[in-house]
């Protein structure tokens, strides 16, 4: 909670409310609040890819910077 790296680093190819073409990698989702929480969390309009993401220490590391680096690396490795 309060990291938000998964709302910035990866691309999202499915439509998001207010972002009909999805979100490019490295671009902050418009639903990420100033305190780095998802404003769509728990709502039916939240994209399935976001709902399916499970933050894990192995994936995110121990800081936001670490998570940004790892998720960015995964984004590049899967393009």
Give the pLDDT band (50/70/90) at residue 60: confident
How many residues comprise the chain?
79
pLDDT tens digits for range 23-48: 999 999 999 999 999 999 999 999 99
3 neighbors 67 (Cβ within 8 angstroms): yes
Q: What integer pLDDT is reported at residue 58 of this predicted model? A: 84
26 neighbors 72 (Cβ within 8 angstroms): yes
pLDDT above 90: residue 79: no
Mean predicted lDDT score pLDDT of the chain:
91
35/25 Cα distance (integer angstroms): 20
């Amino acid at each position: 909670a309060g990291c938000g790296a998964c709302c910035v680093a990866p691309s999202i190819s499915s439509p998001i409310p207010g972002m009909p073409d999805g979100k490019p990698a490295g671009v902050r989702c418009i639903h990420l609040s100033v305190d780095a929480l998802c404003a769509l969390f728990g709502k039916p309009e939240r994209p399935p890819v976001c709902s399916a993401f499970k933050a894990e220490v192995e994936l995110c590391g121990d800081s936001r910077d670490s998570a940004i680096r790892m998720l960015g690396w995964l984004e590049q490795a899967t393009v």
